[in-house]
Chains A and B, each alone.
Chain A
């Protein structure tokens, strides 16, 4: 996999079919509905529970705005992923192009997905630091790999958008 920034676009090329499938799963993975731990994490309390009035007002006025923000970010990602769905050669490597203006939306959606998956499986800090565990084994291992792959993409996007480089190329280990 190769990442390159050029003319206002972040280009991730040579994405193999397995990683492309994980990318297609980003929008679906942001859905916290039905998973209480994930809902609690995405919409965490703004203060200790004893601040009942503040917490209640937050739920009514702020939470809907946050939901809209997260939804908008996910919709941007869905649109950017569209070219990946029309691949005529299913086993060919593919390229994803993210306009730099969408970088924030990608960081947000990837973070939503990572938090939801981590909440679903209750990953520990040491598991999350285990970048060498094989994704083959169980659904849990695959999900851990997914969380780490999305984190890897976040690092790339951050490096390209906030790392100070204008035109650059970097190679990933995934």
Chain B
């Protein structure tokens, strides 16, 4: 008769999952870093393709990367941010995820 009672007390595992869920919901940002090899026109094209930016907006971020060494191109939920970084790596851009908290 003890077994069902013990099983019920093992619920703290769910608490851990809740914390992870909260972590995933906190905002992250996608940062693109400068790279002397990638062409400016190529970086602009990638921003347009991945984020659907207008040419002007894509060029603004590309120039920010070139001039300041980095540009925050997106911020939001971690899962989506990971997907964007994966896409950017697929285009061989130097991109990272950063916490905003």
Contacts and interface: CB of A to CB of B under 8 A. Distances in A.
A complexed with B? yes
Interface of A: 42-48, 51, 54, 62, 65-66, 69, 107-108, 111-112, 114-115, 118, 123-125, 128, 147, 151, 154-155, 158-159, 162
A164 B39 CA distance: 18
Interface stretch (B2-10, B11-19, B89-97): B89-97
A81 to B, nearest CB: 20
Contacts of B96: 45-48
A115 B37 contact: yes
Interface string B29-63: 00000001111011001001000000000000000
B39 A125 contact: no
Main SS of the interface on chain A?
helix
Nearest to A152: B39
A128 B37 contact: yes
Contact of A44 (B38, B39, B42, B94): B94
Interface of B: 36-39, 41-42, 45, 48, 82, 85-86, 89-92, 94-98
B37 A114 contact: yes
A46 B89 contact: yes
A123 to B, nearest CB: 8
B92 A108 contact: yes
Nearest to A42: B92
User: Which of A46, A51, A65, A162 has the most chain B CB atoms closer than 10 A to its own CB?
Assistant: A46
A138 B28 CA distance: 46
24 contacts: A44-B89, A44-B95, A46-B82, A46-B95, A46-B97, A47-B96, A47-B98, A48-B96, A54-B97, A65-B86, A107-B42, A108-B90, A108-B91, A111-B37, A111-B91, A115-B92, A118-B36, A128-B37, A147-B37, A151-B39, A154-B42, A158-B41, A158-B45, A162-B48
